[in-house]
Homo-oligomer: A and B are copies of this chain.
Amino acid sequence: MSSATETHLEVGSAGVAEKQYYTFAEPPDTLTLESGAQLGPITLAYETWGRLSVKRDNAVLVLHAFSGDSHAAGFYKHDSPDSKPGWWDSLIGPGKGLDTDKYFVICANILGGCSGSTGPSSVNPETGQPYGLDFPMMTVADIVETQKALLGYLGISSLHTVIGGSVGGMQVLEWCVRYPEMVRSAIPVATTMRHSALAIAFNEVARQAVMSDPRWNKGNYYGGECPDLGLAIARMIGHVTYLSDEAMRRKFGRRLQNKNNLSYGFDVDFMVESYLRYQGSKFVKRFDANSLLYITKAADYFDLVEREPPARSLNDIHGAAVKFLVISYTSDWLYPTYQAKELIQALKRANLDVSFCEIEADAGHDAFLIPDERLGSLVGGFLDGVPRN
Protein backbone atom coordinates (compact mmCIF):
# COMPACT_ATOMS: atom_id res chain seq x y z
CA MET A 1 0.00 0.00 0.00
CA SER A 2 2.82 2.37 0.83
CA SER A 3 4.55 4.15 -1.95
CA ALA A 4 6.21 6.58 0.40
CA THR A 5 9.96 6.56 0.74
CA GLU A 6 11.79 6.93 4.03
CA THR A 7 12.57 10.48 2.98
CA HIS A 8 8.93 11.43 3.27
CA LEU A 9 8.73 10.05 6.72
CA GLU A 10 11.69 11.87 8.21
CA VAL A 11 11.28 15.36 6.89
CA GLY A 12 10.67 17.91 9.54
CA SER A 13 12.10 15.83 12.35
CA ALA A 14 14.41 18.65 13.35
CA GLY A 15 11.64 21.23 13.40
CA VAL A 16 12.26 22.29 9.83
CA ALA A 17 9.06 21.92 7.88
CA GLU A 18 8.80 21.21 4.20
CA LYS A 19 5.62 21.27 2.22
CA GLN A 20 5.06 18.12 0.19
CA TYR A 21 2.34 17.09 -2.21
CA TYR A 22 0.41 13.92 -2.85
CA THR A 23 -1.84 13.59 -5.86
CA PHE A 24 -4.45 10.87 -6.30
CA ALA A 25 -7.78 10.19 -7.95
CA GLU A 26 -6.00 10.74 -11.23
CA PRO A 27 -7.60 9.66 -14.50
CA PRO A 28 -9.27 7.34 -15.00
CA ASP A 29 -10.02 7.45 -11.24
CA THR A 30 -12.04 10.05 -9.36
CA LEU A 31 -13.20 10.42 -5.79
CA THR A 32 -16.95 10.22 -5.31
CA LEU A 33 -17.97 12.94 -2.89
CA GLU A 34 -20.79 12.74 -0.36
CA SER A 35 -22.97 14.81 -2.71
CA GLY A 36 -22.43 12.22 -5.46
CA ALA A 37 -20.16 14.51 -7.45
CA GLN A 38 -16.93 13.16 -8.90
CA LEU A 39 -13.66 14.96 -8.26
CA GLY A 40 -10.16 14.30 -9.50
CA PRO A 41 -7.28 14.59 -9.63
CA ILE A 42 -6.87 15.67 -6.02
CA THR A 43 -3.68 17.03 -4.53
CA LEU A 44 -3.08 17.40 -0.83
CA ALA A 45 -0.27 19.61 0.47
CA TYR A 46 1.08 18.17 3.68
CA GLU A 47 3.93 18.44 6.16
CA THR A 48 5.34 15.99 8.67
CA TRP A 49 7.40 16.22 11.84
CA GLY A 50 9.22 13.44 13.70
CA ARG A 51 9.88 9.94 12.38
CA LEU A 52 7.54 7.11 11.65
CA SER A 53 8.47 4.14 13.85
CA VAL A 54 9.46 0.84 12.27
CA LYS A 55 6.17 -0.62 13.51
CA ARG A 56 4.39 2.38 11.95
CA ASP A 57 2.43 2.78 15.17
CA ASN A 58 3.30 6.31 16.24
CA ALA A 59 1.50 8.43 13.65
CA VAL A 60 -0.57 11.42 14.74
CA LEU A 61 -2.89 13.26 12.40
CA VAL A 62 -3.35 16.97 13.07
CA LEU A 63 -6.44 18.53 11.50
CA HIS A 64 -6.57 22.25 10.92
CA ALA A 65 -9.33 24.77 11.39
CA PHE A 66 -11.12 26.85 8.77
CA SER A 67 -8.26 29.15 7.76
CA GLY A 68 -5.33 26.92 8.72
CA ASP A 69 -2.99 25.00 6.48
CA SER A 70 -0.45 22.20 6.50
CA HIS A 71 2.14 24.37 8.26
CA ALA A 72 1.28 23.34 11.80
CA ALA A 73 4.75 23.63 13.32
CA GLY A 74 8.34 24.70 12.77
CA PHE A 75 9.80 27.02 10.17
CA TYR A 76 10.51 26.61 6.50
CA LYS A 77 14.12 26.68 5.38
CA HIS A 78 13.43 29.80 3.36
CA ASP A 79 11.69 31.63 6.22
CA SER A 80 12.93 35.09 7.04
CA PRO A 81 14.15 35.77 10.60
CA ASP A 82 10.87 37.43 11.56
CA SER A 83 8.65 34.63 10.23
CA LYS A 84 6.23 33.02 12.63
CA PRO A 85 6.33 29.28 13.13
CA GLY A 86 3.43 27.00 12.20
CA TRP A 87 0.03 27.60 13.76
CA TRP A 88 0.27 24.90 16.47
CA ASP A 89 4.01 25.14 17.05
CA SER A 90 3.37 25.42 20.78
CA LEU A 91 1.92 21.90 20.74
CA ILE A 92 4.13 20.10 18.18
CA GLY A 93 7.84 19.48 18.68
CA PRO A 94 10.39 17.66 20.80
CA GLY A 95 9.14 17.42 24.39
CA LYS A 96 5.86 19.18 23.56
CA GLY A 97 2.33 17.82 23.87
CA LEU A 98 2.62 16.17 20.47
CA ASP A 99 6.19 15.10 21.14
CA THR A 100 8.03 14.66 17.86
CA ASP A 101 10.63 12.55 19.65
CA LYS A 102 7.81 10.03 20.12
CA TYR A 103 5.32 10.70 17.37
CA PHE A 104 5.28 11.10 13.63
CA VAL A 105 2.99 14.08 13.11
CA ILE A 106 1.17 14.75 9.84
CA CYS A 107 -0.88 17.78 8.84
CA ALA A 108 -2.43 18.35 5.42
CA ASN A 109 -4.17 21.39 3.99
CA ILE A 110 -7.82 20.39 3.64
CA LEU A 111 -9.67 19.69 0.44
CA GLY A 112 -11.30 22.95 -0.66
CA GLY A 113 -8.47 24.97 0.83
CA CYS A 114 -6.07 27.32 -0.90
CA SER A 115 -2.67 26.46 0.55
CA GLY A 116 -1.57 23.78 -1.86
CA SER A 117 -4.48 21.34 -1.76
CA THR A 118 -7.12 21.07 -4.44
CA GLY A 119 -9.82 23.67 -4.03
CA PRO A 120 -11.93 26.13 -6.01
CA SER A 121 -8.83 28.08 -7.06
CA SER A 122 -7.26 24.95 -8.59
CA VAL A 123 -7.37 24.29 -12.31
CA ASN A 124 -10.34 22.27 -13.46
CA PRO A 125 -8.84 19.70 -15.84
CA GLU A 126 -12.01 19.74 -17.91
CA THR A 127 -11.68 23.42 -18.77
CA GLY A 128 -8.07 24.33 -18.08
CA GLN A 129 -9.43 27.21 -15.97
CA PRO A 130 -9.77 27.54 -12.19
CA TYR A 131 -12.83 25.70 -10.89
CA GLY A 132 -14.56 28.67 -9.23
CA LEU A 133 -18.09 27.56 -8.42
CA ASP A 134 -17.70 24.50 -10.64
CA PHE A 135 -15.80 23.02 -7.73
CA PRO A 136 -18.16 20.49 -6.17
CA MET A 137 -19.50 21.16 -2.70
CA MET A 138 -17.52 19.06 -0.29
CA THR A 139 -18.26 17.96 3.27
CA VAL A 140 -16.22 17.20 6.35
CA ALA A 141 -16.57 13.53 5.40
CA ASP A 142 -15.04 14.24 1.99
CA ILE A 143 -12.15 16.05 3.68
CA VAL A 144 -11.58 12.95 5.82
CA GLU A 145 -11.65 10.65 2.80
CA THR A 146 -8.82 12.59 1.18
CA GLN A 147 -6.80 12.40 4.40
CA LYS A 148 -7.41 8.66 4.46
CA ALA A 149 -5.95 8.44 0.97
CA LEU A 150 -2.88 10.37 2.07
CA LEU A 151 -2.31 7.99 4.99
CA GLY A 152 -2.53 5.08 2.59
CA TYR A 153 0.14 6.68 0.47
CA LEU A 154 2.32 7.14 3.56
CA GLY A 155 1.81 3.49 4.51
CA ILE A 156 -0.01 4.34 7.71
CA SER A 157 -2.94 2.16 8.73
CA SER A 158 -3.36 3.20 12.34
CA LEU A 159 -3.19 6.51 14.17
CA HIS A 160 -2.09 7.02 17.73
CA THR A 161 -4.40 9.99 17.73
CA VAL A 162 -6.34 12.39 15.55
CA ILE A 163 -6.44 15.89 16.98
CA GLY A 164 -7.82 19.21 15.80
CA GLY A 165 -9.68 22.31 16.92
CA SER A 166 -12.82 23.97 15.58
CA VAL A 167 -13.49 22.68 12.04
CA GLY A 168 -10.47 20.45 12.69
CA GLY A 169 -12.34 18.98 15.63
CA MET A 170 -15.24 18.13 13.33
CA GLN A 171 -12.80 16.20 11.16
CA VAL A 172 -11.58 14.38 14.29
CA LEU A 173 -15.14 13.23 15.01
CA GLU A 174 -15.74 12.27 11.39
CA TRP A 175 -12.54 10.21 11.42
CA CYS A 176 -13.84 8.33 14.46
CA VAL A 177 -17.19 7.40 12.95
CA ARG A 178 -15.71 6.52 9.54
CA TYR A 179 -12.54 4.70 10.55
CA PRO A 180 -12.71 3.77 14.25
CA GLU A 181 -10.49 0.76 13.60
CA MET A 182 -7.68 3.08 12.47
CA VAL A 183 -7.93 5.50 15.40
CA ARG A 184 -6.64 4.59 18.85
CA SER A 185 -7.53 7.97 20.32
CA ALA A 186 -9.18 11.21 19.36
CA ILE A 187 -8.87 14.75 20.72
CA PRO A 188 -11.62 17.08 19.51
CA VAL A 189 -10.80 20.59 20.74
CA ALA A 190 -13.08 23.65 20.88
CA THR A 191 -15.58 22.05 18.56
CA THR A 192 -19.10 20.74 18.24
CA MET A 193 -20.87 17.67 16.92
CA ARG A 194 -23.35 19.80 15.02
CA HIS A 195 -23.05 23.38 13.82
CA SER A 196 -25.48 25.57 15.76
CA ALA A 197 -27.86 28.10 14.25
CA LEU A 198 -25.67 30.87 15.68
CA ALA A 199 -22.55 29.46 14.01
CA ILE A 200 -24.42 28.98 10.73
CA ALA A 201 -25.68 32.55 11.00
CA PHE A 202 -22.19 34.01 11.30
CA ASN A 203 -20.95 31.86 8.42
CA GLU A 204 -23.88 32.90 6.27
CA VAL A 205 -23.24 36.59 6.87
CA ALA A 206 -19.58 36.04 5.99
CA ARG A 207 -20.56 34.26 2.77
CA GLN A 208 -23.02 37.01 1.87
CA ALA A 209 -20.27 39.59 2.43
CA VAL A 210 -18.08 37.78 -0.10
CA MET A 211 -20.86 37.17 -2.61
CA SER A 212 -22.07 40.78 -2.38
CA ASP A 213 -18.71 42.07 -3.54
CA PRO A 214 -19.15 42.79 -7.27
CA ARG A 215 -15.60 41.54 -7.87
CA TRP A 216 -16.66 38.11 -6.65
CA ASN A 217 -18.44 37.78 -10.01
CA LYS A 218 -20.12 34.47 -9.18
CA GLY A 219 -16.77 33.01 -8.28
CA ASN A 220 -15.03 33.89 -11.53
CA TYR A 221 -12.41 36.38 -10.42
CA TYR A 222 -9.18 34.42 -10.85
CA GLY A 223 -6.68 36.30 -12.93
CA GLY A 224 -8.55 39.54 -12.30
CA GLU A 225 -9.34 41.67 -9.29
CA CYS A 226 -10.34 39.61 -6.29
CA PRO A 227 -13.28 40.28 -3.94
CA ASP A 228 -10.91 41.56 -1.27
CA LEU A 229 -13.39 43.97 0.29
CA GLY A 230 -16.01 41.30 0.81
CA LEU A 231 -13.45 38.77 2.00
CA ALA A 232 -12.07 41.28 4.51
CA ILE A 233 -15.57 41.88 5.93
CA ALA A 234 -16.04 38.13 6.21
CA ARG A 235 -12.77 37.81 8.09
CA MET A 236 -13.68 40.65 10.44
CA ILE A 237 -16.92 38.85 11.27
CA GLY A 238 -14.89 35.71 11.91
CA HIS A 239 -12.48 37.48 14.21
CA VAL A 240 -15.26 38.88 16.34
CA THR A 241 -16.55 35.34 16.87
CA TYR A 242 -13.07 34.00 17.63
CA LEU A 243 -12.58 36.42 20.48
CA SER A 244 -14.74 36.89 23.55
CA ASP A 245 -16.28 39.82 25.36
CA GLU A 246 -13.67 39.38 28.11
CA ALA A 247 -10.76 39.07 25.68
CA MET A 248 -11.85 42.19 23.84
CA ARG A 249 -12.17 44.15 27.05
CA ARG A 250 -8.70 43.03 28.09
CA LYS A 251 -7.02 43.52 24.71
CA PHE A 252 -8.75 46.68 23.56
CA GLY A 253 -11.38 48.03 25.92
CA ARG A 254 -12.34 51.48 24.66
CA ARG A 255 -8.74 52.50 24.03
CA LEU A 256 -8.35 54.94 21.20
CA GLN A 257 -6.00 54.52 18.29
CA ASN A 258 -4.98 58.16 18.31
CA LYS A 259 -4.34 59.35 21.85
CA ASN A 260 -7.46 60.80 23.40
CA ASN A 261 -9.07 62.27 20.36
CA LEU A 262 -12.25 61.04 18.74
CA SER A 263 -12.17 61.57 15.00
CA TYR A 264 -15.82 62.62 14.70
CA GLY A 265 -15.62 60.83 11.38
CA PHE A 266 -15.53 57.29 9.98
CA ASP A 267 -11.82 56.69 10.25
CA VAL A 268 -10.52 54.41 12.97
CA ASP A 269 -11.26 55.72 16.45
CA PHE A 270 -10.91 52.66 18.63
CA MET A 271 -8.07 50.13 18.72
CA VAL A 272 -10.53 47.30 18.23
CA GLU A 273 -11.54 48.85 14.90
CA SER A 274 -7.91 49.06 13.84
CA TYR A 275 -7.35 45.44 14.86
CA LEU A 276 -10.29 44.20 12.81
CA ARG A 277 -9.36 46.21 9.74
CA TYR A 278 -5.81 44.89 9.98
CA GLN A 279 -6.98 41.29 10.31
CA GLY A 280 -9.24 41.74 7.30
CA SER A 281 -6.55 43.26 5.11
CA LYS A 282 -3.97 40.66 6.15
CA PHE A 283 -6.30 37.76 5.41
CA VAL A 284 -7.03 38.69 1.81
CA LYS A 285 -3.34 38.30 0.96
CA ARG A 286 -3.30 34.64 1.89
CA PHE A 287 -6.81 33.26 1.46
CA ASP A 288 -9.11 32.56 -1.42
CA ALA A 289 -12.65 33.92 -1.16
CA ASN A 290 -14.21 30.83 -2.76
CA SER A 291 -12.38 28.59 -0.28
CA LEU A 292 -14.11 30.54 2.49
CA LEU A 293 -17.47 29.79 0.89
CA TYR A 294 -16.82 26.07 0.51
CA ILE A 295 -15.23 25.45 3.89
CA THR A 296 -17.83 27.41 5.87
CA LYS A 297 -20.56 25.48 4.09
CA ALA A 298 -18.87 22.18 4.96
CA ALA A 299 -18.83 23.27 8.60
CA ASP A 300 -22.49 24.29 8.46
CA TYR A 301 -23.44 20.93 6.99
CA PHE A 302 -21.63 19.08 9.77
CA ASP A 303 -24.07 17.21 12.00
CA LEU A 304 -23.04 14.03 13.75
CA VAL A 305 -26.44 13.66 15.38
CA GLU A 306 -29.05 13.65 12.67
CA ARG A 307 -27.68 11.56 9.86
CA GLU A 308 -29.40 9.39 7.36
CA PRO A 309 -27.68 6.15 6.37
CA PRO A 310 -25.43 5.46 4.52
CA ALA A 311 -23.68 8.26 6.44
CA ARG A 312 -22.07 6.69 9.49
CA SER A 313 -22.94 7.99 12.92
CA LEU A 314 -21.93 7.35 16.51
CA ASN A 315 -24.36 4.39 16.58
CA ASP A 316 -22.10 2.64 14.10
CA ILE A 317 -19.13 2.68 16.45
CA HIS A 318 -20.90 1.64 19.64
CA GLY A 319 -18.28 0.36 22.08
CA ALA A 320 -15.33 1.00 19.75
CA ALA A 321 -11.85 1.05 21.30
CA VAL A 322 -11.23 4.74 20.57
CA LYS A 323 -10.26 6.76 23.65
CA PHE A 324 -11.61 10.32 23.56
CA LEU A 325 -10.28 13.47 25.19
CA VAL A 326 -12.76 16.30 24.66
CA ILE A 327 -11.43 19.80 25.36
CA SER A 328 -13.42 23.03 25.57
CA TYR A 329 -12.66 26.56 26.71
CA THR A 330 -14.69 28.57 29.21
CA SER A 331 -15.00 31.71 27.08
CA ASP A 332 -15.61 30.04 23.70
CA TRP A 333 -19.05 31.23 22.64
CA LEU A 334 -18.83 29.86 19.11
CA TYR A 335 -18.60 26.25 20.33
CA PRO A 336 -19.43 26.66 24.01
CA THR A 337 -18.78 24.08 26.70
CA TYR A 338 -22.43 23.05 26.76
CA GLN A 339 -21.90 21.73 23.23
CA ALA A 340 -18.81 19.79 24.36
CA LYS A 341 -20.98 18.30 27.08
CA GLU A 342 -23.62 17.30 24.53
CA LEU A 343 -20.86 15.55 22.60
CA ILE A 344 -19.69 13.78 25.74
CA GLN A 345 -23.18 12.56 26.51
CA ALA A 346 -23.51 11.22 22.98
CA LEU A 347 -20.13 9.48 23.18
CA LYS A 348 -21.08 7.92 26.52
CA ARG A 349 -24.40 6.72 25.13
CA ALA A 350 -22.33 4.97 22.44
CA ASN A 351 -20.38 3.30 25.23
CA LEU A 352 -17.14 5.05 24.31
CA ASP A 353 -14.23 5.91 26.63
CA VAL A 354 -14.36 9.67 27.21
CA SER A 355 -12.31 12.14 29.21
CA PHE A 356 -13.22 15.79 29.31
CA CYS A 357 -11.43 18.97 30.24
CA GLU A 358 -12.74 22.51 30.18
CA ILE A 359 -9.82 24.91 30.17
CA GLU A 360 -10.29 28.22 31.95
CA ALA A 361 -9.34 30.92 29.45
CA ASP A 362 -10.73 34.32 28.55
CA ALA A 363 -9.52 34.36 24.94
CA GLY A 364 -12.71 32.93 23.45
CA HIS A 365 -12.71 30.41 20.63
CA ASP A 366 -9.18 31.50 19.69
CA ALA A 367 -7.88 30.11 22.98
CA PHE A 368 -7.01 26.77 21.42
CA LEU A 369 -4.52 28.47 19.09
CA ILE A 370 -2.84 30.54 21.78
CA PRO A 371 0.28 28.94 23.28
CA ASP A 372 -0.77 27.48 26.62
CA GLU A 373 1.18 24.86 28.54
CA ARG A 374 -2.02 23.38 29.90
CA LEU A 375 -3.09 22.09 26.50
CA GLY A 376 0.31 20.50 25.90
CA SER A 377 0.33 18.82 29.32
CA LEU A 378 -3.18 17.52 28.88
CA VAL A 379 -2.54 16.15 25.42
CA GLY A 380 0.88 14.68 26.29
CA GLY A 381 -0.39 12.98 29.43
CA PHE A 382 -3.45 11.62 27.69
CA LEU A 383 -1.43 10.20 24.79
CA ASP A 384 1.02 8.50 27.15
CA GLY A 385 -1.96 6.56 28.48
CA VAL A 386 -3.11 5.39 25.08
CA PRO A 387 -1.73 1.86 24.44
CA ARG A 388 0.11 1.33 21.17
CA ASN A 389 -1.47 -2.02 20.47
Residues of A within 8 A of B (CB): 35, 37, 133, 136-137, 194-198, 200-202, 204-205, 207-209, 211-214, 229-230, 232-233, 236-237, 240, 243, 245, 248-249, 251-254, 260, 262, 264-266, 269-270, 272-273, 276-277, 280, 293, 297, 300-301, 303, 306, 308, 333, 336
Task: Report whether over half of chain A's contact residues are helix, strand or loop; otherwise say mixed.
Answer: helix
A200 lies within 8 A of B300 (CB): no
B336 lies within 8 A of A205 (CB): no
A297: chain B residues within 8 A (beta carbon): 266, 269
- Tell me the smallest distance from the CB of A294 to a CB of chain B, in Å: 9
Given contacts A251-B197, A254-B197, A272-B200, contact A266 B293 (CB under 8 A): yes
Give the complex CA separation of A351 and B26 in angstroms: 77
Give the complex CA separation of A197 and B136 in angstroms: 39
A249 lies within 8 A of B196 (CB): yes
A214 lies within 8 A of B211 (CB): no
B254 lies within 8 A of A232 (CB): no
Given contacts A249-B197, A265-B137, contact A276 B236 (CB under 8 A): no
Copies in the complex: 2
- Tell me the smallest distance from the CB of A291 to a CB of chain B, in Å: 13
B213 lies within 8 A of A212 (CB): yes
Which listed residue, B137, B194, B245, touches A254 by the CB 8 Å rule? B194
Give the complex CA separation of A265 and B133 in angstroms: 9
Which listed residue, B212, B272, B306, touches A201 by the CB 8 Å rule? B272
A272: chain B residues within 8 A (beta carbon): 197, 200-201, 204
Nearest chain B residue, comparing its CB with the CB of A35: B264
A273: chain B residues within 8 A (beta carbon): 200-201, 204
A270 lies within 8 A of B198 (CB): no
Which listed residue, B204, B209, B240, B270, touches A209 by the CB 8 Å rule? B209
Q: Which 7 A-B pairs have the closest CB atoms?
A: A197-B248, A212-B229, A137-B264, A35-B264, A197-B252, A204-B273, A197-B272
